[in-house]
Each structure stands twice: as structure tokens, then as C-alpha cells.
Structure 1
Amino acid sequence: MSQLITLATCNLNQWALDFEGNRDRILESIRIAKKRGARLRVGPELEITGYGCLDHFLENDLCLHSWEMYVQIIKRPETFGILLDIGMPVLHKNIRYNCRLLSLDGKILFIRPKLWLANDGNYREMRFFTPWLKPTVVEDFVLPPEIQEVTGQKIVPFGDAVVNALDTCVGAETCEELFTPQSPNIAMSLDGVEIITNSSGSHHELRKLNKRMDLILNATKRCGGVYLYANQRGCDGDRLYYDGSALIAVNGKVVAQGSQFSLKDVEVVTATVDLEEVRSYRAAIMSRCLQASTTDVRYQRIDVPIELAVKKERFDPTIMPTKSKAVAYHTPQEEIALGPACWLWDYIRRCNGTGYFLPLSGGIDSCATAMIVYSMCNIVVNEALEGNEQVLKDVRRITGNTDEWVPQKPQDISSKIFHTCYMGTENSSKETRNRSSELSEKIGSYHVNLNMDSLVSSVTSLFEVATGKKPIYKIFGGSQIENLALQNIQARLRMVLAYLFAQLLPWVRGNKNLGGLLVLGSANVDECLRGYLTKYDCSSADINPIGGISKTDLKGFIAYASEKFEMPILNDFLTATPTAELEPITETYVQSDEADMGMTYEELSVFGYLRKVEKCGPYSMFLKLLHQWTPKLTPSQVAEKVKRFFFFYAINRHKQTVLTPSYHAEQYSPDDNRFDLRPFLINPRFPWAGKKIDQVVAQCEGKPGPELDVLSVD
């Protein structure tokens, strides 16, 4: 005996405050779900407003406009005949909640507020919403008058309830609730809920998808049941990229999975499942049956007099359960190639820009940035050739082409929207100039090759005339402060030139679209963490696709891209010594990034992870690394490296307050904007922690350590 039901979940590319666009994408997902025979459709978290509205959520207009869009959705005849789970903010008793609204045939069944809010890392939900701290409690909610007119209802249930159809029971949880120790899905499954939905706004981080999938599969493996996971996908207006991967799982196995990265605005994932498999699976686990029979948690059932499964008397041999499949994962190198590229595409098409401008230095960071743009062009071409109408419309508008134009290769797009420039000085090498030119030729960007020595000398001459002093480089006898000033003026002038060229290159090329280019930054997460960049230099840009990616991962990406896109030139970037090329090159001296920083990029990644993810201060970081790095390094060497890292991190904190908005891809990102909230004026010596570190070093070396200044307590 079987009881089959077709279910639908989706990835939607929603945009913050794009009410009509969000509405239309929701409607399209419902149409697709119905066409495939689905009886339940689940959408992403806060899909009507877009998840990333941030402080706009504090505006009551959002609740008003959400109701206006919601009514336009559920009153449409094509949305009848399917159980809908739609997300939006709701004001109840003057309290703002993040809610799911479940409806059928134009009637609201109940409103389910989010119980546990995401409130760390990139998320500040408790700034905008209040959690529903009354599990299984249901209250009356009075619908707004204009909604009453449409639905014919005045009061609907509001709270933690479940939908009870004639043949099954459906419950809802939202995003963060899945990640909590006592996820609501556990209590729901013990109370007989067979189908559980999760509507999410979960962002991409490198290697993060595995954790999400493990939680879903382990939950359904322990408790049994059907789990529908929906997620937003795309850049909805900020640093995050929501990475889709909508999923349907049954009893710990995946039966359907959506794509993680794609330019499709609407992707619906459907599967036909057998509810009898759930019942058999659960009944076979005696310990689960004992817990279920004794649990005190009982959910209020919202009765709906319909059958969701295919009726037995209408047996159709063509309808069968969807077979299970392996979870699809991308490698970190593929994630870098796809995630930031899709983010860049959403950004350029939604800001009405005409393209991107990148200072291409010949180093690995700007090379990686260029290859991400090239990857974007490659993704767009593939979607266009597959007939994605939205992508075709967008790419024609951005490039200024006719309605019949279809790009055939990535260079067809990059030659029109991607602009690169090598800004050389007397300190630049022939090798970096050649690498930049060759890479530009391969990817098809519009390239400018210039020397800016006259500009640099003009500025330094102006300073000399004004002060009577002429700064000189350190290798020629100058002081450290002179050396830094001469390097910084080159870097800052490159930023000025970048914005000048970004504004005028479209005009130079005869582009009738009066919009300028967006300037791309190319500082990696390790350099941002260490502060190894000039404030307001060419790392200051409009957006930065690699600002949340480590140098180590970028090298892996370049190696991958060399084979993926058949570009051997990329291997030259991998083998080159990282250098800023801001100091003169002599027979005995070539500037090196790692020598300048006093630490390797691999060490920086470790420091960054321990500082942010494991929440280590100087002392606890030293103790961890003392165990990890000895005997390769002596205790004194470990102490010196930790102190050096925290010193430069502290004195450069002010730079992180003005970092270019970057694609968030790494947990140890130092982005000061909402993610890494630390003061930017602190004692860089960390004197107390330093003394405790010195004590441990002395103990390891069998020497007397420094005395700690401890006040006595009488």
C-alpha cells in the first residue's frame, strides 16, 4: 500500500524591497509547482519583502506592502488547489514577527511566527523582529480590514500550530530553527507531523553547504518524515549571496535538490513521496515510538478538509515515488568560480550599470578578480544559449545590443562590459605588465596600459615645493615614514585614476548609455585582516568579489581556472612572488608581500580563524598555537608571531571600518560592517596578555618570567 503526494519547494532570487518583482516570482513558482502536480508549495524566508531589508524592516510600510502583495497572490485563481507556505513580516499586537502564512484556496489557514531568530555573524534579526517565545501556543489574529474584504475572514490563528489535512499533517519551521539544539522539527515529528517545511534565507560561505545538509538529513534520519527546504538565491542588495540548494528529503535520504548557484530567478524543485514509507520508518523504531507516546508537546491542529495525497481510487501507474540521490556538492574552487560571479551579475543588472572596471596589477589577487568576472560572463553565455529570457533581456540591456543578439562566448560579453587597466610606475616590472596584457587579451577585456610616473612625481614635487623637504625611499637612505608615504601616494593615485577611467571609458568607447563603470576592489581577506593595504588606495572600490576569500583559496581557484578555462597564462600568476611593486627594484632588493607583513598568508588564515571563529584573544591564541606549531617553532617564535599579528591587526583596525563592501565567503572576514563588531582604537600591545604569554614562554624555556603587576586585596 502506498500514499503518494507531490511536493514543491523552490529557490527564488528575491530582491529587498522589490515588492512587485518578488510577487511575480512567487506567482511563477506556484504556477510551475501546480503544473507538476504539487499539492504543497514552500517558499524562502521573508520572500515577499526579500530577506535582506535590514533596518527597512523597522518601517511599518513593509508590513502594509507585504499584505498588499500577499492578497494579490492568494486571490489569483491559479493559486487555488495547492497549499501555500509564504513568508513575510507581520505586526501582531504591535509586535513585529518574521512569519509564515499558510493558505489554501484564498483562505489563510494560520500564521506561524519564527520561534528562534538568527542573531550572530551576519544576522541581526532581533533588531527587527521579536521571537515567538510561546511554543505550541496559538492566539487570535485580527486581519487588516482590506484583507478581510478579500478572504472573507476576520480572525485567523496566530502561533505555533500545524495543518491537519484529511490524510497527513504539515508543520513549518524557519531557517535558524533548524540549527538550534532542540529544533522544532523534533517535537513536531514526535507529535505525528509527517511533512515539515523549512523556509530559509541562508547565505553562502565556502564549505558551508555540508553543515546544512548534514542537519537536514540527520534530522529526518533520526525522526523520520518528509522535509522540504526552501532558500533564497542571489544577491538581494548586500554583501551576502544566498545560495539556494532547495531540498526535499525523506527518512534521511535526498530525493530532490535544486542548484546552489544559478542565474535562474525561479527554480522549483518537486518530488513525489510515499507517506506510507514515513509511517513504516517511524513505527519500526521502538525508542522513537516510546518518546512519541510520552511527549508532553502537543500542537494545535488547524483542520483542513482536503486530501493532499493522490486518492487511492484514482490509482495511476505513471505516478511513482521519486528515487533517492546523492547530495551534490561543489569543490571550494568551483564555489569561488560560481558564487561571487553570480553575485556580480545580480549587482550589475540591478544597479543599471554598464560594466566593471578593474585595476589589473599582474598579481594573483587582481587576476582572481578578473577570472571571477570572466566566470560571470561564461555563466551568462551558458544561460543565454539555454534560452533564459531574463538573462537575455538583462545582457542585451547592459551591453546595449539589439533584441536579436545572443552572445556565443564569454569574450562577447567581457569585451563590452569589462574594462581593465595596468597602472605602471618606475617600480613596476616588465613581468607584471606583460602578464596583465596577456590575461586581458585571453579574457577579452578592454585594456588600458599606462604609466603614471609623471603624476606621482608631480605630487611629490608639490610636496617638496610646499615644505622644502623631499622624501626618499628607504633603500636609498630614507626613513620608514618617508618610504611608506612614497608607497601610499602611488596606491592612492591609482584609486583616483580608477574612478576617472571608470567614469569616462564608456564615453571614450562611444557608449550611449551615460552610466559609468563599477570599480572592483581586489584585496583578499588575509590582507584586510592584517591591514596590509593603503587606506583609500585602489583597494577602495565599489564592491570587492574576493574580499572574503583567503589567499590560499584564491591560489586553488586560479589553478582550477587554468584548467577549466584552458588558460595556461594563469600558471604564471601562481608561480610569481606576491609583491605590491611600490618600492624601487634593485639588484639586491625586490619587495615581497610576505616579507613586508612578517608572516605568511597561510599563517594569516590560521590567525584569522582563531581570532574570529574560535573567539581567541592573544593569550588563548598563543596557547593553541603553542601546541600546534611546536616543535617546528620554538615557544618564543610562536609568541613573537602572535604578538606581531595582534599588533598590526590592532593598529590597522581603522582601515577595516572603510573596507570596500565585499562578497562574504569566509567566517573570519574582518568586515567591520555588521559582521565583525570591534572597536578601532585599542592598545595594540595588549600588555597584560603579552606578559602572560612571556610567562609561559619563560616556563617552557626554564627561565624566570616577568612579574605580573597584581594588586593585593586586603
Structure 2
Amino acid sequence: MLRLIRVGAAVLNQTPLDWEKNFQHIIGAIEQARKEKVSILCLPELCITGYGCEDAFYANNTHEKAMEYLQKIVPYTKNMVVSVGLPLLVQNKLFNCAALIANGEILGFVAKKFLAGNGIHYEPRWFTAWTQKGFAFINIAGKEYKVGDLYFNVGGVKIGFEICEDAWVANRPGRALYHYGIDLILNPSASHFAFGKLEVRKRFVLEGSRAFGVSYVYANLLGNEAGRAIYDGGALIANNGSLLAIGERLSFKDFDVTSAIIDLNLTRLSQIQMHSFDVVEDGGNCVEIDFDYPEILPEANHPQEATWEHSKYIKEEEFTRAMMLGLFDYMRKSFSRGFVISLSGGADSSAITCLCRMLIDFGIQELGLEGFLQKLFYFKEIQNCQNADEIAQKLITTAYQATENSGEVTFNAAQKLAQALNVEFHHLNIDKIVKEYHRIVEEAIGRKLSWQTDDVALQNIQARVRAPGIWFFANLKNALLLATSNRSEAAVGYATMDGDTSGGLSPIAGIDKDYLRQWLRWLEKEGVEGKYKISALRYVNEQQPTAELRPKEHKQTDEGDLMPYHILDDIEELAIRDKRSPVECLLFLEQKHPQTERSQLKAWIDKFFKLWCRNQWKRERYAPSFHLDDKNLDPKTWCRFPILSGGFAKELQDLKDF
């Protein structure tokens, strides 16, 4: 007899501690799944509270509200099986749990066994890993429920869990679940976006389904949840090593459901053919309940082809879509009325301005004009806009702030780009303010300032004078000021504190300059899906990056001040990500750049290490940035380094002597 069941995985755009909105998204996903005839639905990890609650996980109110909203969700699960994630306090220990609910009844809670404590994750600070076999009891409204190492027999279908990190480790829980003859593994996750990470997820989902002879349902968070991490969704459903369905990624939606039909008989046949078997006593770890699954007729359109749309992007498109979603969510969740950017005509500010405009176009494309405006309901000034151009004029404010060292090339690039994107543009001349600072300081120190003796001070005052004006616009507009410094500059401190680092969000602080320039050329000439191009970027891409802070006769360029960006990025990867010594960096660079003299490579490595150590205090002061890959330098979430250190003095001497 056929045993066909439709299973689903939900992606949710949640916000930490936003109880009512998180609840509405959960209910919306359950109702969407119900319309699609889904019988078993997996919701993401910690979706009631939000994943990124930080130390608010310690608060009694967080635990109480999570339980309150769990009980509000229960009635919406009539004739369905639904898993939902929440923190649970058991015997004065906090556990990251998945509750399984069936037909309006809580069955029990599975606790996460392996906590994510690396990189941007800090789960062991708040949660205890469930390392023991068996279970404890928790009392909810006068009724006892099991919590711990459990699996469930729901109407003859055996369901087990791997919660996010559980599936990323060698000794994953699926190995034990296999011996209980599990039919279905649910994986509620909060797996942040990183370049190419989808392929890793697909591998552990497919391998888990094949090795354990099960169907596997993977759910994930979506969007910029708490500020730094961007979740890309990408729900996955697999069976016996075959991918049945894959959900849309990096969507602007509040929630979405991906579903597929699984054949339990085929699943069980694969386990029969595996032959290996260990007799396992469950020790009461199984929770059983009767449940009638809706009949799925054999003539229905069962074969499922994996939906690949929006799931497999080249890196440039992944970057584009992740940044658009991250910026949009950060703006609306902070209730900011648009973006403000100091548009210099260079690569960094131009890239950010393009992304701000693109999120409008792609947001409307996906949500429709009405849906896009509804997400910005608090921004009354744009509610009557009729198209993307009108929204862009009100949502994005830019300003080119000139001194005597600014050139026509950068002004032309800024103006042409602003016109092409149809954003508000201002041309401010701040030279009088800079000169007044010169006069005040010269009077105070009793001498004239000169480029021969005061180079850094004369450069930095120009960058800093730009900050009050651009903040002025942000305050006038009640908008979000975006800082424009990139990761290559952060690594060596080639940024002016309270200048180009000013802002409430530093969106590209995790992206190296060499890649950013490559992306701008791609956006000019190839574009998203080969269609969406911004040809006005040619005015930006034709230039050599320059801060334009020294007199024109100095012919200042960024790479002249530092080193070629591709070399800088190579050294950063070797020294910071891979933790190589200066001598080891040299040996690797000589292999990659054999045409460059050893003495030159030594000089660049020496400069990098010295500048890195001197400028940790700057990285500590950067506005929050998006985490996009394992090269992030954010000291608060990824790359910790002492503000004061020995500066690699001995290691650099070894390099000199090598």
C-alpha cells in the first residue's frame, strides 16, 4: 500500500524579541503549508524568540514570553505536525530546543546536542548542550512533557531531529536515529549566509538522507535578523540521497514554505537494503501519538523536481542579493527613513549607492509595489509613490563634498551615477570649513601647517569635516547613514575615524577592495541575470582609487599609499585568516607572485603587519557590518586581536633576516 506524505520546510524573516511579528510569520507559514496540503512542517531554529537575542536569552521574560507564544501557536496546528524552535529552561539550565506539536497537542521537546561556538556564533554562552542519553520532564500548565534526547512516533511515522549544528559535526545525531528506524529527520536551522555555503548544506542534507536511509527536511531563517548576520533561507528536502525540493534564497518575503511528497515505503526499503542493524533499547526516549495523515492519491502529480530558481548564483549575484536584503531589513527594522551616503565618486560609496537603489527595484519585482511599500509602512512620505524612481528619490540621499583637492573626474562620476539611479544628489563645497580649521589650529600652535610636516593631519581634517555635513542630512531625513570603508582599508587602518567610518552601519566593511572593483565592473558590463546593468558605473570604473586628500600634484592613489590591492588582500588572507607568520607569508607570496622581487614583497609584508597591529582600535570602532565570509575582520563577532600588542617585532626581524 502506498504511504505518501507531503512534508514542508519554512523560512522565516524574524526579529529578536519581536514577539507578535515573529508569531504572525510563524502562523503565516503554517497557514501557507496547510493550503499546500503539508502534513509535517519544520520551522527554523529559535524562531519564536529569534536566534540573535544575545544576553537577552538570560532574561526570565524571554523564557516566559517564548512559552506564552508557544502555547498561542499550538491551536493553529490542527490536523498537522509542526516543529517550532525556542529556548527552554530545564532544571535551571537553558537549552536550545525544538518542540514537536501534533494536531493541537505538544508532544515533547528535543534539545540541541552540539552548540555552535565558533565564528559569529556564541551559543555556549547562553545554552547548555544536551550531552546525556534520555530525558527530563518539564511542567507546562499543569502537564508534564519530556525534553531531551527524544524521537517521536506520530501515526506510525518516526520523526527525529538534528538541530542546525548537530548536522555539521562528525558524530551527528542522525547516526543514532538510524538505529531506531527513523523515517524522517527534521533540521530546524539558523544558518547564516556565506559565499558558496548552500553547497555545503546540500552535501550534509543529501548525505544524511542517503547514509541514514531517511527523508530529510531542512528549514532556515531568512533576512537580516539581528544586524550583522544575513540568513539566506534556501529550504531543502531530500530523500535517500536525492534532492526533492530546494526553496528560494535571499527573498524579501516575511515567510515561505517549500514542500515535497515523500514515499515512506521507498524510504523504508532503502533501510532494509542497508542490512546493518543494531538492537537499540529506546529507554522511553520515544513519544508516541495516534495521528491520521490526509490521504494522497497515487494519481496525483507526485514526482518532484528540485526547484533551482534563485538557489544557485554566481558569487557576484550572491553578493548583490545578500547585500540588498541585508540593507533593506536593517533599514526597516531600525525604522530608518531611507539611506544617506557620502558619494565621493569612488568605488566604495558608488557600490553602496547602487545596492540601495537595486533593493528598491528587486524588492518591487518580488513583492509588487504595494507589498514593498507595506514593508515600509512607517515611512509615510513614500506611501503615495507610483514607481521605483519616485521611491528612490525619497529613500536615497547622496552628497558629494568637495575640497580644493577634489577633481572633476570624481565629481562627474558621482553626479552621473546619482542621475542614472535617480537618487537625491547634493554638491557641497566644504573647503572654507577646512581652511578655517587650518587657521584656528595655526593660531593655536603658532606656526603654519605644511604638507612636508603635517601630511596625515591635513589629510584627515578633510575627511572628518565631511562627517558633520553628511550626519546633518541623516538627522534631517531620520535616515540611516552608511559608512563607506571596506575590509582592505580596515585591515591596515587606511580610513579616517569619524570621517569615512562615520555611520550607523558599515555594509561593505567585510568586503575587500579588489573584489568590490571586480563586482562594479560586472554590474556595469554583465549585470544581474545578464539584464540589470548600471552603465553609468563606467565613470567610476575608469578611475584608479584615490582618497583625493593631497594636492593634485602629488598624484595620490590608494595603491600608491599602501600596495597593490590584490597583494594586500593576499597578505591579509595569509596573515589574518590563516594565521601565517611574516616569513610564511613571504614563502606563499613568492609562489603566487614569482615576478615580484623578494625585497618588494618583504616591504609590503612588513608594512601590512605593522599597520594591522597599530589599527586594531579603529576596527573596534567600526559601525556594525554584514558577515559575508570567513575573511571578516569584525572584532566583535569574528576576528579578535589585542588593541595593544608586541607588534610582531621579532617575527618582522625574522622576515628581514630571511
Give me the TM-score of the superposition, normalised by structure 1.
0.87
1:581 is aligned to 548
Q: CA, structure 1 residues 422+96, in 2 after alignment: closer, same or farther (shift >3 Å)?
A: same
Counterpart contact for 1:332–1:553, Cα < 8 Å: no
Cα separation, 1, equivalents of 2:305 and 2:420: 43
Partner of 1:293, secondary structure, is: coil
Cα separation, 1, equivalents of 2:109 and 2:63: 14
Partner of 1:10, secondary structure, is: strand
Give 1:259's match in structure 2, choosing from 237, 248, 268: 248
1:710 is aligned to none
**1:600 corresponds to which letter in structure 2?**
P
Cα separation, 2, equivalents of 1:634 and 1:298: 68
In the TM superposition, residue 319 of structure 1 has moved relative to its aligned partner by 5.2
1:400 is aligned to 381
Q: How does 1:328-347 map to 2 (within 5 A)?
A: 328-347=311-330
1:675 is aligned to 638
1:702 is aligned to none
Partner of 1:71, secondary structure, is: helix
1:106 is aligned to 104
**2:366 corresponds to which letter in structure 1?**
E
Partner of 1:52, secondary structure, is: coil
In the TM superposition, residue 458 of structure 1 has moved relative to its aligned partner by 0.3
1:107-138 deviation line (CA, Å, top 9, x unaligned)? 2211111111110111111111111111x422
* 2:585 is equivalent to residue 621 of structure 1: yes
Cα separation, 2, equivalents of 1:561 and 1:299: 58
Q: How does 1:62-81 map to 2 (within 5 A)?
A: 62-74=62-74, 76=75, 78-81=76-79
* Unaligned ranges ≥5, structure 2: none
Q: CA, structure 1 residues 557+305, in 2 after alignment: closer, same or farther (shift >3 Å)?
A: same
Cα separation, 2, equivalents of 1:9 and 1:386: 27
Cα separation, 2, equivalents of 1:223 and 1:241: 31
Cα separation, 2, equivalents of 1:63 and 1:406: 42
Give 1:498's match in structure 2, choosing from 431, 450, 470: 470
- Over the matched positions of the two proteins, sequence identity in percent amounts to 29
**2:113 corresponds to which letter in structure 1?**
L
Counterpart contact for 1:274–1:321, Cα < 8 Å: no
In the TM superposition, residue 694 of structure 1 has moved relative to its aligned partner by 4.3
Give 1:534's match in structure 2, choosing from 496, 501, 521: 496
Counterpart contact for 2:77–2:101, Cα < 8 Å: no
> Highest Rg: 1 or 2?
1
Give 1:549's match in structure 2, choosing from 511, 532, 535: 511
Partner of 2:351, secondary structure, is: helix
Give 1:293's match in structure 2, choosing from 268, 278, 303: 278
Give 2:427's match in structure 1, choosing from 446, 449, 456: 449
1:571 is aligned to 538
2:652 is aligned to 690
Counterpart contact for 1:191–1:298, Cα < 8 Å: no
Further displaced range: 40-49 or 660-669: 660-669
In the TM superposition, residue 216 of structure 1 has moved relative to its aligned partner by 1.7
Q: CA, structure 1 residues 447+280, in 2 after alignment: closer, same or farther (shift >3 Å)?
A: same
**2:541 corresponds to which letter in structure 1?**
L
In the TM superposition, residue 31 of structure 1 has moved relative to its aligned partner by 1.1
Cα separation, 2, equivalents of 1:396 and 1:325: 32
Q: CA, structure 1 residues 36+334, in 2 after alignment: closer, same or farther (shift >3 Å)?
A: same
* 2:350 is equivalent to residue 367 of structure 1: yes
Partner of 1:204, secondary structure, is: coil
Counterpart contact for 1:140–1:158, Cα < 8 Å: yes
1:88 is aligned to 86
Give 1:590's match in structure 2, choosing from 552, 555, 570: 555
**1:463 corresponds to which letter in structure 2?**
V
In the TM superposition, residue 169 of structure 1 has moved relative to its aligned partner by 0.8
1:701 is aligned to none
In the TM superposition, residue 378 of structure 1 has moved relative to its aligned partner by 0.9
Q: CA, structure 1 residues 676+682, in 2 after alignment: closer, same or farther (shift >3 Å)?
A: same
Counterpart contact for 1:439–1:569, Cα < 8 Å: yes
1:512 is aligned to none
Cα separation, 2, equivalents of 1:401 and 1:446: 14
Give 2:615's match in structure 1, choosing from 626, 646, 652: 652
2:566 is aligned to 602
Aligned length: 652
Counterpart contact for 2:205–2:236, Cα < 8 Å: no
Give me the TM-score of the superposition, normalised by structure 2.
0.95
In the TM superposition, residue 612 of structure 1 has moved relative to its aligned partner by 3.8
Cα separation, 2, equivalents of 1:469 and 1:166: 88
Counterpart contact for 1:188–1:299, Cα < 8 Å: no
Counterpart contact for 1:226–1:251, Cα < 8 Å: yes
Cα separation, 1, equivalents of 2:187 and 2:238: 12
Q: CA, structure 1 residues 604+212, in 2 after alignment: closer, same or farther (shift >3 Å)?
A: farther
1:479-517 deviation line (CA, Å, top 9, x unaligned)? 2xx01000000011111211112223x4xxxxxxxxx12
Q: How does 1:163-202 map to 2 (within 5 A)?
A: 163-202=152-191
In the TM superposition, residue 294 of structure 1 has moved relative to its aligned partner by 6.6
Cα separation, 2, equivalents of 1:339 and 1:667: 15
**2:4 corresponds to which letter in structure 1?**
L
Counterpart contact for 2:253–2:367, Cα < 8 Å: no
Cα separation, 2, equivalents of 1:635 and 1:448: 47
